[in-house]
Structures are given as structure tokens and as C-alpha cells.
Amino acid sequence: MGRKIKIKTEDISVFYRDFQALFNINIEIEENKVTALIGPSGCGKSTFLRTINRLNELIEGTRTKGQVYLEDVPVYAKDINVVALRKKVGIVFQKPSVFPMTIYENVAYGPKIHGVKKKNLLNEIVERSLKAANLWDEVSSRLNSPAAQLSGGQQQRLVIARVLAVEPHVILMDEPASALDPVSTSKLEELISELKKKYTIVIVTHNMQQAARVSDYTGFFLNGYLVEFNRTSELFVNPRDKRTEDYITGRFG
């Protein structure tokens, strides 16, 4: 079938001080597919997402056990370059957080810190990224105005453009639509299905319809465990686990 595994986790467990947030998670995430992670609040799906680019360690008192392989390279190895890892794995958060700079500077921020200095190359990257994020037409005439003036949906697409500008291999999305209105949400979902042609996408969402619409695979998390992982078409139609069934039919959560 030619399935290519992009990310593989081996017995990932995460602890916040004395609290264990994740228990031995094993997942294989396929290249150029959208994988959705669903589950009730506090089930550990966001925590899992953040193990992939080692973002949990920004919070003091967090320990991670197990291993994540990105393109067969162990992410939790001593000699790994975290900066290079995070360049490869972009993340889009729930609340779009644009930097207090112009639209242009926001997108150019990543390439600049990674050493791109030539003005025309930067211009090219900014234009390409904004186009890929379906934002170019709306902002091309005002690239030098403050990014904070954009609407919430535009800001979220700007954040995606900012991530695309560093040319990641994987894009993580942590409830990217939860702060958006329905129109912006459907624009974002369209964008996701375009992006998966080039990128591997892992999306955390509490919206099951959204998971069903945009994803190829879905994982159901509950209380820190991965209860079920399957093709989206299978999981929503024929859940194997009773708890998955209860959740997707709306009996709890």
C-alpha cells in the first residue's frame, strides 16, 4: 500500500510533577495524511501533541518517558537539536497569537531567525506562505500594517503562514478552530485539506464533526490513555471500544 510512517511513538508517558497525564501512548502517524485526536477536555490529547515537538518541557516540572520517532530519528535523544526539531514540526495553537509586528514581519520572523537575510528571498517566502495559507488575497495590499488588526480567522491563517514559512515537515494543530466563527472555521478546514498534500498534519479537536470532515485517521483519548486508533471512516462508523462508541454518540464529554 506504500504507507509511509512519519511519526511513531513508543510508550510515551508524561508527568506533571506527581500527576501522570499520559500512559504509554503508541501511535503511528502516516505521511501526508490528517490525523485527528479527539476526546473530552483533560484527556491528554494536547499534551500528546506537544510531546512531538518537545513543547511540554517549557513547563517546569514536566517529565516525559518513552520515545517519539520523527522520520525515524528519536526526538528524545540526548544529542537532538531541539531548535532543528521545532523547525521541522510547526504548531498552531488554539488562540491565534500574532506577534506585535506587521503582517510581513510575522511571516518573515521564522525565516529570519533561521538565517535568511536577502530581502527578495524573504519577499518570496512571505508571498508563497501567505498564498499557501489562503490569506494572500486579503492582505497583499497591506503587508506593512499591524497584524493585530486582522480578524480572528485571518490571524489564525497568518499564524499558519508563519509556520509554513519555516518549511516544516509536520504541522501540529491544537484546537485551531475553537476560537473561530463558522465561516472562518470552514475556510480553515478547506485549508487543512489543501495542506495535507504537502504536509503531515496532526490536529487536536473537541469537535467530532470536524474530525470526521477533515481527517484520515482518528485517535480517541480518555483519561490519559489512547483508547482507540483507526481510519476515521472506520472509527466513527464501527467503533471497536464501548467507550469510543459512548463518546462519539454523545453519551458523555
Partner 1 sequence: MKTFDWKEKLLTVLFWLAALAVVGILFSIIGYIVWKGIAVVNLDFILEAPSRAGREGGISIAIVGTVYLTAVSLAIATPLGVGTAIYLEEYARRRSKFAYLVNLTSETLAGVPSIVFGLFGFVFFVIFLGMGWSVLSGSLTLAIMLLPTITRTAQEAILAVPHEYRENSLALGASKWQTVSRIIIPSALPGIVTGIILSIGRAVGETAAVILTAGSSLGMPGGLFDPARTMSVHLYILATEGISLERAFGTAFLIVILVIVINYFANLSLYRLSHSRNNR
Stretch that binds partner 1, among 18-26, 30-38, 72-80, 95-103 (CB under 8 A): 95-103
Among 65, 86, 198, 206, binds partner 1 (CB under 8 A): 86
Q: Is 60 in the site for partner 1 (CB under 8 A)?
A: yes
Distance in Å, CB of 163 to partner 1, minimum: 7
Among 139, 163, 191, 212, binds partner 1 (CB under 8 A): 163
Residues between 210 and 249 that touch partner 1 (CB under 8 A): none
Taking the CB of residue 76, how many other CB atoms lie within 10 A of it?
17
Q: Which x/- pattern over 103-132 shows residues binding partner 1 (rule: CB under 8 A)?
A: ------xx--xx------------------
Taking the CB of residue 66, how many other CB atoms lie within 10 A of it?
16
Stretch that binds partner 1, among 8-16, 54-62, 180-188, 194-202 (CB under 8 A): 54-62
Q: Is 143 in the site for partner 1 (CB under 8 A)?
A: no
List residues near partner 1 by CB under 8 A. Answer: 53, 55, 58, 60, 83-87, 90-91, 93, 95, 97, 99-102, 109-110, 113-114, 144-146, 148, 159, 162-163, 166
